[in-house]
Amino acid sequence: MSPPITSQSRYETVIGLEVHAQMRTRSKIFCGCATQFGAEANTQICPICAAFPGVLPVLNREVVNMAIKTGLAIQGQIRLLSEFSRKNYFYPDLPAGYQISQYELPIVEHGQLVIASPLDQGPKKIGITRIHMEVDAGKSLHEGIQGASWVDLNRTGTPLMEIVSEPDLRSAAEAGEYLKKLRAIVRYLGVCDGNMEEGSFRCDANVSIRLRGAPILGTRCELKNLNSIRNVMRAIDYEVERQIELIDNGDSVIQETRLWNADLNSSRAMRGKEDAHDYRYFPEPDLPPLRLTPERIAAVAATLPELPDAKAERFRTQYQLSDYDAGVLTASQELADYFEAVAQQAATLGQPNPKVAANWVMVELGGRLNKENWDIQQTPIPAHHLGQLVAMIQQGILSGKTAKELFEILFTEGGDPLQIVERKGLRQVTNSTAIEEAVDQVLAAHPEDVAQYHAGKTKVIGFLVGQIMKRTQGKANPALVNQLLQARLTRQE
Amino acid sequence: MDLSHLSLAQAADLLRKRSLSAVELTRFFLERIATDNAALNAYITVDEAGALQAAQAADDRLARGEATPLTGIPLAIKDLFCTQGLRTTCASRMLANFHPPYESTVTRRLKEAGAVVLGKTNMDEFAMGSSNETSFFGPARNPWGHDRIPGGSSGGSAAAVAAGLCLAALGTDTGGSIRQPAAMTGITGLKPTYGRVSRFGMIAFASSLDQAGPMTRSVEDAALLLQTMAGHDPLDSTSIDAPVPAYWDDLTTGVPAAERVKNMRIGIPAEYFADGLAAPVRQAVEQAIATFQDLGAHCQPVSLPCTAYAIPTYYVIAPAEASSNLARYDGVRFGHRCADPLDLRDMYARTRSEGFGAEVKRRIMLGTYVLSSGYYDAYYRKAQKVRRLIADDFRAAFAQVDLLLTPTAPETAFRIGEKNDDPVRMYLSDIFTINVNLAGLPGLSLPCGFDEHPLPIGLQLIGRPLQEATLLAAGHAFQQATDWHQRRPS
């Protein structure tokens, strides 16, 4: 595939994203059934989720609170009056034959989200048109079943938020940044687990291109089945290339819905504009209009946690971290909490140096977790243990090498850091007599290198230091080794 | 002693004194049903075993002295209230073998009070009709003339009450489906304020209009049933959270109705006495107005200018909601499914073609059309605006009067088959009742006379929201002054 269009290209990409986020409520949006994932098919259903005759929906208050929370987090306007509507279409996994959603009056409007734009190298505001609440459908199973389809209604009734962006995104990379930011926010808020693979955070992308500077938008295609941020970006790049090729060949883009196939790295047309459903939206007569009071919104606002942007800002000032470090460490609430616990533990034991703590969390621990394909919640090292490790570095008890050794033991076996240091003799040798002894032994063993040094080849000093460290099993303080070695060589001159 | 026309209070009294057991009373009605139902087709399902079991439980409860006034009272239930384990068909082939795994709130409340359910009554399919002729199980017949319609959609309940095949019945009213059949069969029918009674477990026709209510032989009986049926239900978000007056106690032990009706201001809307009103109906209703004046009420003319828009407005909104409400009958989870479907589309098409009757299909198509893209504003949205104007008309009238008095229906019961070829003529049967649903107001139909056949004539009282007690007081005073409600078909 050719590279995505750059800022030099004659075309501009225009992207709007629709995200469906499953809300993490205990019960469903309109009945008391559990929302738990992975139960046996059709065991978490009742006459209401199965749309039996005569049953009625009752709105889950927690769903409304979560939508308000999310709306506030993206600086949206919370409507005091919103309403539910029915979106009518037939499908076996939609038991009522309509989806209860919000249409003309959604609960949240006019929000925004700031991303670090990869193209402009600066922060960029992405408008969020609306957030509305709706109900998820069940699942139809077709594979491996002959002459029939099976329907699992467990998911039916799971609350969703649909978060619709303005067409403000200009590249796949920006779309990726937007999704990461949005996902971080819903996770911080605890309103959605953000798991794209399991489908609890789903994204459709509307993509069009136009000549740079053109006043109107080009014809868009909607991309579906994008089950990771990487796939969203790949599918957008593919779609942009496809549209450029069409236009460059004198064809035009047809408005359609396209299904992304991650295995084939391509998309195919699913349905055209003419096949689009007429959903016959109308206000849901079984639910009265939703009226909110400023007091209720204020009560929800009081429960908002510190959000990623605010937290990153605090990390920059409180811990003197770089923009990059602050951004990485606040990507998730759990990582940020972990870092703060490490930094705090290290600070109580020694001189605070949050930069060292940040490096150990991001580089050593982050790299090791990546290797195992684990996330921060799965770390085998409790934050206070890593904090002790950082403190011991700052106190000169551990060298870089012994610290890594301790880290590996903590990661694979666990245990009390101090006890491990003592048991394994990892404590750095700062006793100059012991080091001097090693220096003498090494100089005696390598007379030609000493001669080379005196002949002006001072580079050999590195080799000699290495030999001394080896002899002290890495426990010698490297600074002290250097100092003593230099002194001894000078004396020999 | 003829038990078939006891008032609920009389029956409760006999049961409490143990001069009659609930089982005896229930058996009496089961026997009457066995004899007379074939001619009337009032019941779709008779639950003999369930009724006797409930009657036995009622007797035990009476013996323990824990009875309510409804304990042991045999009722007929319109066949769109879901009754747990008891077939609930909505008079449709679609649900001809549907046994709900849950109970409607209204029937649950009545059962908890000790009422005995004799069976499920005939109706127009999915409550769509004014004559009971759209029932998959064939039309119910009017006890006042078996070639006549009993009205609809709650025709089976009306026929059962009028013929003494139960002591009282439940109906539902979306555009007149309690009041019009009550008028056709000479009984009393009350449609409460929208939201006064829970809709949970009531199979939906048009959600913003549907309301359950009692169908009885007297206002007093209606008050007793409403007292138990009404009230907020956490399972119905459109039910009103307002205290429920003790309608029956107030009627029987409070300020006498004759006192309350004195100086009541009753509005007579001119638009309801226009051309199309049959002469005997006009005469009977005018006679009733005179009776109210004799009782001390002040009757005065009022105007409801939007009356003429009732039918078109209703036939946009109700089918729109119905087209969506009835989408769930797709053959996937319950109800009828066509044989050997070729694929999903074929299953939907044939299941619904076979399962629904012509009137239901007509309304689904109407509703689908008015909600379609490009037509929504011209039909559905406009109808909602007119609906608001209609409600405004009533609000303005109620600034001057306490209640309104109109005919319930423009004519008496017509012959079965008479209007089958002309849906619009059929729709006009509800011309006086539909606006009350559109405005969400309570309406009460009372017998007020007979035409030459003789067939019963009904008058309608319309009240302010949640003012059922006012309607009941006026109606009760009228029934104390007249005996139309005590006439029985031969």
pLDDT for residue B48: 98
- Among residues B131, B153, B154, B157, the one annotated as catalytic is B153
Nearest CA-CA partner of A196 in A19, A403, A342: A19
CA distances from B419 to B148, B366, B459 (A): 12, 19, 23
Q: Which residue is closest to A60 within chain B, CA to CA? A: B237
Contact map slice: A 282-321 vs B, CB within 8 A: 282, 285-288
CA dihedral defined by A481, A483, A485, A490, rounded to 10 degrees? 180
What is the rounded CA–CA span in Å between residue B467 and residue B260? 13
* SS3 (DSSP) at A291: strand
Three-point CA angle A340, A342, A347, nearest 5°: 95
| Neighbour-count burial of A160, counting CB atoms closer than 10 A to its CB (0-12 exposed, 13-18 middle, 19+ buried) | buried
CB atoms B98 and A53 under 8 Å: yes
Tell me how many helices (H) and strands (E) chain B has: 17, 11
Say whether B153 is catalytic.
yes
Give the torsion sign (CA, A181, A182, A187, A189). positive
From chain B, the residues in CB contact with A100 under 8 A are: none
* SS3 (DSSP) at A350: coil
- Name, in order, each residue with C-beta under 8 angstroms of B397's C-beta and a sequence gap of 6 or more: B267, B269, B302, B303, B304, B404
CA distances from A373 to A276, A360, A376, A469 (A): 41, 18, 10, 34
Does the pLDDT at position A346 exceed 90?
no
What is the rounded CA–CA span in Å between residue A32 and residue A28? 6
Does the pLDDT at position B277 exceed 70?
yes
Q: What are the boundaries of each domain within chain A?
A: 11-300, 308-423, 432-492
Contact map slice: B 190-249 vs A, CB within 8 A: 199-204, 206-208, 234-238
Q: pLDDT band for position A7 (50/70/90)?
A: very low
Instruction: List pLDDT tens digits, range A386-396.
Output: 888 888 888 77
* φ/ψ of residue B474, rounded to 5: -65, -45
What is the rounded CA–CA span in Å between residue B457 and residue B195? 28
**Probe site for chain B from A31, A278, A280, A281 (most B CB atoms < 10 A):** A280
Does the pLDDT at position A359 exceed 60?
yes
Distance in Å, alpha carbon of A76 to nearest chain B alpha carbon: 27
Tell me how many helices (H) and strands (E) chain A has: 16, 16
Nearest CA-CA partner of A86 in B141, B328, B53: B328
A55 in reach of chain B (CB within 8 A):
yes
Q: pLDDT band for position A469 (50/70/90)?
A: confident
- Name, in order, each residue with C-beta under 8 angstroms of B120's C-beta and a sequence gap of 6 or more: B43, B44, B45, B47, B76, B77, B78, B79, B81, B83, B86, B87, B88, B89
Does the pLDDT at position A236 exceed 50?
yes
CA dihedral defined by B246, B248, B249, B251, rounded to 10 degrees? 110
**Probe site for chain B from A48, A85, A282 (most B CB atoms < 10 A):** A282
Q: pLDDT band for position A117 (50/70/90)?
A: confident
Q: How many CB pairs under 8 A join A and B?
A: 104
- Residue A395's identity, in one-letter code, is Q
**Probe site for chain A from B81, B103, B332 (most A CB atoms < 10 A):** B332
Residue B95's H or E segment, with its range, is none
* Domain B3-262 architecture: Alpha-Beta Complex (3.90)
Q: pLDDT band for position A8 (50/70/90)?
A: low
A147 in reach of chain B (CB within 8 A):
no
What is the rounded CA–CA span in Å between residue A169 and residue A192? 23
CB atoms A52 and B333 under 8 Å: yes
CB atoms A54 and B200 under 8 Å: yes
Q: Is B320 left (phi over 0), alpha (psi -120 to 50) or beta?
A: alpha
From chain A, the residues in CB contact with B344 under 8 A are: 92, 149
Q: pLDDT band for position B193 (50/70/90)?
A: very high
Report the share of chain B in percent with pLDDT over 90: 94
CB atoms B207 and A92 under 8 Å: no
Does the pLDDT at position A430 exceed 70?
no
- Among residues B21, B78, B135, B445, the one annotated as catalytic is B78
CB atoms B371 and A88 under 8 Å: yes
Nearest CA-CA partner of B150 in B336, B415, B436, B380: B415
From chain A, the residues in CB contact with B364 under 8 A are: none
CATH topology of domain A432-492: Arc Repressor Mutant, subunit A (1.10.10)
Does the pLDDT at position B94 exceed 90?
yes
Nearest CA-CA partner of A445 in A468, A479, A423, A474: A468
Report the share of chain B in percent with pLDDT over 70: 100
Question: What mean pLDDT is predicted for residues A263-278?
Answer: 83
Q: What are the boundaries of each domain within chain B?
A: 3-262, 308-383
Name which of B98, B237, B368 is nearest A59 (Cβ-Cβ).
B237
pLDDT for residue B299: 97
Question: What mean pLDDT is predicted for residues B161-189?
Answer: 98
* φ/ψ of residue A272, rounded to 5: -90, 175
Question: What mean pLDDT is predicted for residues B97-120?
Answer: 98
Say whether B177 is catalytic.
yes
CB atoms B330 and A97 under 8 Å: yes
Say whether B78 is catalytic.
yes
Cβ atoms of A450 and A467 within 8 Å: the answer is no
Instruction: Count the helix, strand and coil residues of chain A and give each as a percent rounded to the nearest 5.
Output: 40, 20, 40
The least confident of A243-257, A435-449, B186-200 is A435-449
Residue B78's H or E segment, with its range, is strand B74-78
| Neighbour-count burial of A284, counting CB atoms closer than 10 A to its CB (0-12 exposed, 13-18 middle, 19+ buried) | buried
Q: pLDDT band for position A455 (50/70/90)?
A: confident
CB atoms B203 and A280 under 8 Å: no
CB atoms B320 and A282 under 8 Å: yes
What is the rounded CA–CA span in Å between residue A309 and residue B232? 46
CB atoms B348 and A90 under 8 Å: yes
Instruction: List pLDDT tens digits, range A319-328.
Output: 888 888 898 8
Question: What mean pLDDT is predicted for residues B346-374?
Answer: 96
Mean of all residue pLDDT scores within chain A? 88
| Neighbour-count burial of B422, counting CB atoms closer than 10 A to its CB (0-12 exposed, 13-18 middle, 19+ buried) | exposed
Could you please report the per-residue DSSP string of A382-398?
-HHHHHHHHHHHHTTSS
Instruction: List pLDDT tens digits, range B247-265.
Output: 999 999 988 989 999 999 9
CB atoms B332 and A54 under 8 Å: no
What is the rounded CA–CA span in Å between residue A277 and residue A103? 15
Distance in Å, alpha carbon of A250 to nearest chain B alpha carbon: 33
From chain B, the residues in CB contact with A88 under 8 A are: 323-324, 327, 371
Name which of A56, A88, A151 is nearest B324 (Cβ-Cβ).
A88
From chain B, the residues in CB contact with A98 under 8 A are: 324, 327
pLDDT for residue B91: 98
Q: Which residue is closest to B331 within chain A, CA to CA? A: A92
Q: Is A216 left (phi over 0), alpha (psi -120 to 50) or beta?
A: beta
What is the rounded CA–CA span in Å between residue A208 and residue A222? 9
Does the pLDDT at position A143 exceed 70?
yes
Contact map slice: B 54-113 vs A, CB within 8 A: 80-82, 88, 90, 95, 98, 100-102, 104
A149 in reach of chain B (CB within 8 A):
yes
pLDDT for residue A1: 43
Mean of all residue pLDDT scores within chain B? 96
pLDDT for residue A493: 58
Does the pLDDT at position A56 exceed 60?
yes
- Among residues B177, B198, B239, B429, the one annotated as catalytic is B177
Instruction: List pLDDT tens digits, range B283-334.
Output: 999 999 999 999 999 999 999 999 999 999 999 999 999 999 999 999 999 9
**Which single residue is written with the structure tokens 């689904």?**
B364
A49 in reach of chain B (CB within 8 A):
no
- Residue B51's identity, in one-letter code, is A
Instruction: List pLDDT tens digits, range A59-96.
Output: 999 999 999 999 999 999 999 999 999 999 999 999 99
Of residues A159 and A264, more confidence is placed in A159
Question: What mean pLDDT is predicted for residues A34-47?
Answer: 90
A425 in reach of chain B (CB within 8 A):
no
- Which tokens go with A147? 């002459």
Q: Which residue is closest to B332 within chain A, CA to CA? A: A92
What is the rounded CA–CA span in Å between residue B321 and residue B337? 23
What is the rounded CA–CA span in Å between residue B242 and residue B230? 10
Cβ atoms of B214 and A291 within 8 Å: the answer is no
What is the rounded CA–CA span in Å between residue B338 and residue B436? 39
Does the pLDDT at position A3 exceed 70?
no
pLDDT for residue A2: 46
CB atoms A47 and B101 under 8 Å: yes
Question: What mean pLDDT is predicted for residues B449-459?
Answer: 97
